[in-house]
Amino acid sequence: MNVQAPLLARDAARPKAKFRPPAVHQVRVEGFFGPRIDAIAATTAHTLLDRCIAAGMLDQVDPDRPNPGLKIPFQTGNDTVTTQMFWDSDFGKSIETAAYALSRKPDPALEARVDEVVEAYGRLQDENGYLNSWYQRIEPGRRWTNLRDCHELYDAGHMMEGAVAYFHATGKRRLLDIMAGYADHIASVFGPGEGQKRGYCGHPEIELALVRLARATGERRYLDLARFFVDERGAAPHYFDEEARARGRDPQDYHFEDHRYTQSHEPVRAQRHVVGHAVRAAYLYSGMADVSTEYGDETLKPALEALWGHLTEKNLYVTGGFGPSAHNEGLTFDYDLPNETAYAETCAAVALVFWANRMLGLGPDRAYGDVMERALYNGALVGLSLDGTRFFYDNPLESRGAHHRWRWHRCPCCPPNIARLVASVGTYAYGEAEREIAVHLYCEGVADLETAGTKVRIRQETRYPFEGRVALTVEPEAPADWTLSLRLPGWSSAIAVSVNGEAVEVGAHEEKGYLRLTRRWAAGDRVELDIDMPVERLHARPEIGADQGRVALQRGPLVYCLEEADNGAHLNSVLLTPESAFRCEEASDLGGATVLVTQGLREIGADGAALYAPTAPMREAASLRAVPYYAWDNRAEGEMLVWVRQEGAR
């Protein structure tokens, strides 16, 4: 049962919004993502609940179960985990994933499992609405005393997102009402009023979640609370310092050195550089973009645009991942983009997709659409195995053979995060405005949208991202004048477009990298795009020392890598030549993915040669096979390399 958002959420809670993404149930995705969503619906959604419960999460939540205490270890495959303060967030994301799975296909067993968890939360909730299993079951009496280091509001945000998704998927209001009650309690505790706390979470997330809750319920006060959290962050006197003193601690006694880690080092409108923990940063910027869109708040745009530029121009991996350091799970200094030690957490790439999508709420702009696509197809999608059962937490761009997917993780934030993103990918493909529909991503499927007071169905037929031909059939309920905006990917220099068989002069209708077609649309109108997909050899800026003399291979939105399974070991002994020509092949062992095959060279050390010698190694011809980065480590274990040496490269 798919439930439309209430009319109130579309009107009263929409002060000045420009473009909004459709709900998941409005878009039926097939093609490239279809099998992946099917795998999540059939397998991953159950796997997430299995492993959450095996880790003891339901024991921590349910007041009818014995109190789990502070330290109980659970063995979950690769690692032993203990009770954790952010477990509610993992349940929230797992519920959200299950909701999208139920939107894909009915599954009474899965629905019953979610209902069991929801009822446990219902029993746990205080009369005043407060709901956090850690502070109710593990450390009672300490709620709202350490927002800097702990995760109360972050947990609440993910539970809110799960509640909204589950309501849309099933029509059941139980969890939505529980979380609305908690949001009301939070609004009574935090705010500018007398006796209220002027705090915010050390781990941003609730800001964007409150916007989703407002859209689902139509309650403007949740938007106002999101705006409060955004506006208050970094204000003087610094809340985290005052909070530390209140609990008898020195504010300088801080594991991560200063407030840049939580992006609270200065008010958000003054921020110009992406700093600190990568996931927290992108979640915060997502919330800022949502607030800017919903309120038409132009004062947030200079900061958002500067932060975007700083990330994408100086700190973004070619895969769309970011945050090179394991120490702070985040940023270090500009152009610090090592390959073998890259952290590039899956959650960071997922959060970048969220941020990019929300920047598109301000209007179609290829600067955001292209990065959203890069992060989605590469840095995020790599976090989920092809069968939907194993996961990556960190994502290096080079491995000597020791980096492999996890069955679970001691910090299990990434598995449900990538699962909920992929299962809801249809909502990132489109944007709806009053007289415009934007198409941000190309994928086989059907979308039921609305613009100019008319319901519009758009059908996409394509084998994208493996082929660049896309056909869109527009089916409005009645003829109407509006604009269809289509992203023109920046990685392609040759794009041909026709409408009903007549060629369109792309340059005459392009604006910020989108083709804007304004006309009276009628049922059966057909737009066809032919997007050239050459194999590109990307070169890094000279400031990125690790990549000099090397190239990264990209075709369409996909970044490629070499694996030992195809090319043998010692991948750094392989070279491309300027003459290496690529052909595309379909790989049955990788779900039908397009792989790249070419001829290159391999350097060979002579038997008995010294470790260092004045003569160059011998070379021999070598057949090379590159696979999409998202698909690596799905077959035999071994080495992996994204940046490949190239003869003659600078």
pLDDT in tens, 537-584: 999 999 999 999 999 999 999 999 999 999 999 999 999 999 999 999
Establish how many alpha carbons lie within 13 A of residue 379's alpha carbon, considering only the half-sphere containing its beta carbon: 26
pLDDT band at 316 (very low <50, low <70, confident <90, very high): very high
Active site residue 413: yes
Does the pLDDT of residue 317 top 70, yes or no?
A: yes
Whether residues 540 and 527 fall in one domain: no
pLDDT in tens, 109-129: 999 999 999 999 999 999 999
Whether residues 521 and 580 fall in one domain: no
For residue 650, the model assigns a pLDDT of 63
Does the pLDDT of residue 5 top 70, yes or no?
A: no
Residue 297 domain-assigned? no
Does the pLDDT of residue 361 top 60, yes or no?
A: yes
Task: Give the CATH number of the domain where residue 498 resides.
Answer: 2.60.40
For residue 17, the model assigns a pLDDT of 61
Residue 309 domain-assigned? no
Asked if 577 and 604 touch (Cβ cutoff 8 Å), the reply is: no
Residue 321 domain-assigned? no
Q: Tokens standing for 359? A: 């920047």
pLDDT in tens, 256-293: 889 999 999 999 999 999 999 999 999 999 999 999 99
3 state SS of 128 = coil
pLDDT in tens, 188-218: 999 999 999 999 999 999 999 999 999 999 9
pLDDT band at 69 (very low <50, low <70, confident <90, very high): low
Asked if 397 and 319 touch (Cβ cutoff 8 Å), the reply is: yes
Does the pLDDT of residue 43 top 80, yes or no?
A: yes
Asked if 442 and 462 touch (Cβ cutoff 8 Å), the reply is: yes
Distance (Å, whole) CA 493 – CA 484: 21
Q: What would the mean pLDDT of 295-317 be, rounded to a whole number?
A: 97
For residue 13, the model assigns a pLDDT of 42
Give me the count of residues in the chain.
Answer: 650
Largest distance between two CA atoms of the chain: 80
The CA distances from residue 319 to 89, 123, 186, 615, 643, in Å, are 26, 44, 38, 36, 11
Whether residues 574 and 471 fall in one domain: no
Q: What would the mean pLDDT of 284-313 be, rounded to a whole number?
A: 97
Find the catalytic residue in 201, 413, 414, 443: 413
CA angle 343/346/349 to nearest 5° reads 100
Q: Tokens standing for 15? A: 């002060």
For residue 416, the model assigns a pLDDT of 93
Residue 157 domain-assigned? yes
Q: What would the mean pLDDT of 91-110 be, rounded to a whole number?
A: 97
Does the pLDDT of residue 77 top 50, yes or no?
A: no
For residue 383, the model assigns a pLDDT of 97
Residue 119 domain-assigned? yes
For residue 55, the model assigns a pLDDT of 86
Residue 403 domain-assigned? no
Whether residues 247 and 173 fall in one domain: yes
Number of other residues whose CB lies within 10 A of the CB of residue 607: 5
Whether residues 518 and 549 fall in one domain: no
CA angle 473/475/480 to nearest 5° reads 120
Given 254, 269, 290, the domain boundary residue is 254
For residue 113, the model assigns a pLDDT of 98
Does the CA dihedral 244-250-252-257 come out positive or negative? negative
Does the pLDDT of residue 10 top 50, yes or no?
A: no
The tally of domains found in the chain comes to 3
Does the pLDDT of residue 15 top 80, yes or no?
A: no
pLDDT in tens, 513-530: 999 999 999 999 999 999
pLDDT band at 74 (very low <50, low <70, confident <90, very high): very low
Whether residues 452 and 567 fall in one domain: no
The CA distances from residue 233 to 65, 210, 260, 287, 440, in Å, are 38, 16, 12, 12, 31
Average pLDDT value over all residues in the chain: 93
Does the pLDDT of residue 73 top 50, yes or no?
A: no
Given 473, 508, 531, the domain boundary residue is 531
For residue 82, the model assigns a pLDDT of 61
For residue 452, the model assigns a pLDDT of 95
Whether residues 587 and 438 fall in one domain: no
pLDDT in tens, 454-485: 999 999 999 999 999 999 999 999 999 999 99
Looking at residue 126, what DSSP letter applies? -
For residue 86, the model assigns a pLDDT of 86
pLDDT in tens, 428-455: 999 999 999 999 999 999 999 999 999 9
**Bridge pairing between strands 436-439 and 430-433:** antiparallel
For residue 11, the model assigns a pLDDT of 43
For residue 2, the model assigns a pLDDT of 52
DSSP notation for 550-606: EEEEEETTEEEEEEHHHH-S-GGGEEE-TT---EEEEEGGGTTEEEEEEEEEEEEPP
Residue from 211, 230, 227 nearest 219 by CA:
211
Chain centre distance of CA 532: 26
Distance (Å, whole) CA 221 – CA 291: 13
Tokens 């929801």 — which residue?
118
Whether residues 543 and 525 fall in one domain: no
Given 485, 514, 531, the domain boundary residue is 531
Using a 10 angstrom Cβ sphere, with 0-12 exposed, 13-18 middle and 19 or more buried, the burial of residue 197 is middle
Alpha helices in 85-205 (DSSP H): 87-104, 108-124, 133, 152-170, 174-189
Q: In the chain, pLDDT over 70 holds for what percent of residues?
A: 94
Backbone torsions φ then ψ of 272, nearest 5 degrees: -130, -10
Find the catalytic residue in 207, 329, 432, 564: 329
Q: What is the dihedral of CA 317, 444, 464, 384, to 10 degrees?
A: 40
Whether residues 55 and 141 fall in one domain: yes
Does the pLDDT of residue 72 top 60, yes or no?
A: no
Active site residue 150: no
Does the CA dihedral 406-412-414-419 come out positive or negative? positive
The CA distances from residue 320 to 32, 147, 392, 508, in Å, are 19, 30, 15, 30
pLDDT band at 355 (very low <50, low <70, confident <90, very high): very high
Whether residues 68 and 202 fall in one domain: yes
Establish how many alpha carbons lie within 13 A of residue 633's alpha carbon, considering only the half-sphere containing its beta carbon: 27
Whether residues 104 and 248 fall in one domain: yes
**Bridge pairing between strands 574-576 and 644-646:** parallel
Residue 275 domain-assigned? no
The CA distances from residue 416 to 134, 158, 225, 336, 419, in Å, are 20, 11, 26, 29, 5
Q: pTM of the predicted model, to two decimals?
A: 0.95
Whether residues 435 and 476 fall in one domain: yes
Does the pLDDT of residue 235 top 70, yes or no?
A: yes
pLDDT in tens, 607-625: 878 999 888 899 999 999 9
What domain range includes position 463? Answer: 430-531
Residue 285 domain-assigned? no
